[in-house]
Amino acid sequence: MTHSIQATSAPTLRERLRQPEPLLVPGVYDALTALLAQQAGFEALYLSGGAVAYTQLGRSDVGLTTASETADVLGRITDRVSLPVIVDADTGYGNALNVQRTVRLFERAGAAMIQLEDQTFPKRCGHLDGKSLVSTAEMCGKLKAALDARHSPDTLILARTDAVAVEGLAAAMERAEAYAACGVDALFIEALRTNEEMDAACQRFGGRLPLLANMIEGGKSPVHSARELGAIGFSIVIFPGGTARFVAAQLERYFVSLRAHGTTSPLRDDMLDFSGLNDRIGTPELIELGKSYEA
């Protein structure tokens, strides 16, 4: 079985978002999870700040990660797979000038879309309580700085507002209007709390800009399928942290079993063996490539 990187004839993310079908995007957190997602047939990937904090630091999503740490992870992902990556830039890690540096850094690392949010720094996960926001004017300045900083128009800017939990739905809608007026490429109204709020967001913005739905298992928003969300007007549906949560649950089971039994035998059928993993990551092809350069 060969798992080579796919040809680059796929549409750009901007072109894909013009299609009527919603774009289902899984969260990944390193090159291996990105590779497996590509092999499963996904069209794009999402790298969240939370996933970087969970897997690189073993810490919560409360603004502990830095731009360079996220860019390092992103660069390893884009070096391994050909899919467009939507990357969470949190607040841009500072003011408008910091935002410009972050955009340039992430664009060089291969980001297809860069997400910026209107929380104060340090931020926290959009489904945690106790968030606070910068002013609409400050956020608009940061978004304009981001748009000015990108080198390619194919590097998309996604504006996220966390205002629903802080100021209410009406204020979140007004912030989203202001962010859309800045010229961003897509909108993300975080932590919509009911199906009715999701419908309202789509009725207002769905036909104007791509609108992102964030599906968090156990979060504040109702969880629906990509098809269901596409039917009401969402263009992008992300499941950003499900990968890390699934892996954490399985690793917990693995370590408990290994500690209890002193062997991996009880879980053998749930694992890839040595050859199976090497097949997934393309070891035979890599060895053959190395031989082609030998004298």
Contacts of 216 (CB under 8 A, 6+ apart): 127, 223, 240, 241
Q: Are 169 and 200 in contact (CB under 8 A)?
A: yes
Q: Are 131 and 166 in contact (CB under 8 A)?
A: yes
Q: What is the pTM of this model?
A: 0.94
Complete domains list, the chain, with CATH? 13-248 (3.20.20.60), 253-292 (no CATH)
Angstrom distance (rounded) from CA 25 to CA 239: 6
Radius of gyration of the chain (CA): 20
Walk along the chain (295 residues) and give the pLDDT tens digit of each residue.
Answer: 444 444 446 789 999 999 999 999 999 999 999 999 999 999 999 999 999 999 999 999 898 999 999 999 999 999 999 999 999 999 999 999 999 999 999 999 999 999 999 999 878 776 767 789 999 999 999 999 999 999 999 999 999 999 999 999 999 999 999 999 999 999 999 999 999 999 999 999 988 999 999 999 988 899 999 999 999 999 999 999 999 999 999 999 999 999 999 999 999 999 999 999 999 999 999 999 999 999 7
